[in-house]
Amino acid sequence: MTPALFVQSTVIGLSIGSIYILMALGLTLMFGMMHIINFAHGAVYMLGAFVIYYVFFQWGAPYFAAFVVAMLLLGAFGYLVERSIYRPIKGGIEPTLVALLALTTLLQAAGYPVFGTLDKHVPPVFSGTRNVLGVMISVERLMIIPIAGVLVVSLYLFINRTRMGAAMRAIEQDKEAAALQGVNVNVVNGLAFAVGFALAAAAGALMAPIFKLDPMMGEQPLLKAFIIIILGGLGSIPGAILGGLILGLIDSIVATALGAEPAFLLSFVFIILLLLFRPTGLFGHAP
């Protein structure tokens, strides 16, 4: 691999890593509070991309407006899912996981009749290329990094500086104690669903102009996000960020050297080995 190719795949790895981080943050936030894994996360990513397709491309709204619409719409959907699926199951972890699995297959399968089977493309939002350390990188990919950065910082401030964020941290530590202190656990859980879904929608919205759209497009990012949160330790937000960066870089560099499918196989082998030696991930606590 030439130095130029290495720099290029590193920068692309950072932008892919930013997408993975957005996916993984929502997953890990929901896991920390409710001990569930949102299998529907990949389908939400896909829906985020399709909102961009319709609102930005078909209806001609400005990209950033469509981006906000995608986050709000799917955030509201997340709240609704908490209300109609998570809450009625009353904390049964296995049934919740299977219900979310069913929701994701439902959304993916419904995507075919709803969106049609032809490949859909969103035109580029940012055009041109920039010189980064002597390598030309498309602005489209570069822009993902600051936008995702802003979202991650906003989430950090929300969790650490607001009352709602404090309620989330309280539930994560001890649900009963938080409820006794007057935290409305249902509402805060609903908010965690909303935030998680909105972040996944943002990830999909950022990727929409880069890849073709397809109802199954969320499956790979979902699996990557699983690997990241295992790597970072379930429930750990710093773990999700670091894990996302590591996997994004490994992914992009290995994919450049060997191809995309072997890169994915490698990340899987890597995670099995990691779990053998450190079952709680980099930042996780003992289960």
Partner 1 sequence: MPRSARTAAALIVVVALLTLLPLVAGDYYVYLFALVFINVILAASLRPSLSCGQLNIGHSAFMCIGAYTSALLAKDLGVPFELSLLGGAVLAAAVGLGIGYPSLRLRGVYFAMVTVAFVEAVRLIASIWVPLTRGNAGLSGVPKPSILGMTLATKTSQYYLGLVLMLVVLVILGKLERSRLGLVWKGIGLADNLAQSLGVNIANYKLLAFALGCFFAGVAGAFYAHFIRFLFPPEFGFLLATNILIYNFVGGRGHFAGPIVGAVFLSLLSEPFRGSAYETIFYSIVMLLTILFLPGGLITLPGKLAGLRWWKSAAAESPSPAA
> How far, CA to CA in Å, does 117 sit from each of 87, 114, 205, 235, 276?
34, 9, 20, 37, 41
Q: Quick one: which segment of 108-116, 128-136, 176-184, 203-211 binds partner 1 (CB under 8 A)?
A: 108-116
Interface with partner 1, residue 94, by CB under 8 A: yes
Cβ-based nearer residue to partner 1, 94 or 119: 94
Cβ-based nearer residue to partner 1, 46 or 69: 46
CA distance 28 to 8: 29
Interface with partner 1 (CB under 8 A), residue from 3, 128, 265, 278: 265
Ranges within 161-220 binding partner 1 (CB under 8 A): 219
Q: Is 270 exposed, middle or buried (0-12, 13-18, 19+ CB in 10 A)?
A: middle
Residue 286 Cβ vs partner 1, minimum distance, rounded to whole Å: 11
**What is the number of residues in the chain?**
287
191 and 16 Cβ atoms separated by less than 8 Å: no
Interface with partner 1 (CB under 8 A), residue from 146, 173, 279, 285: 279
Interface with partner 1 (CB under 8 A), residue from 76, 91, 105, 136: 105
Cβ-based nearer residue to partner 1, 68 or 280: 280
Q: The tokens of 36 are what?
A: 């569930």
- Judged by the rule CB under 8 A, the positions of this chain that interact with partner 1 are 31, 35-37, 85, 88-89, 92-95, 97-99, 101-103, 105-106, 108-113, 219, 223, 226-227, 230, 234, 261-262, 264-265, 268-269, 271-272, 275-276, 279, 287
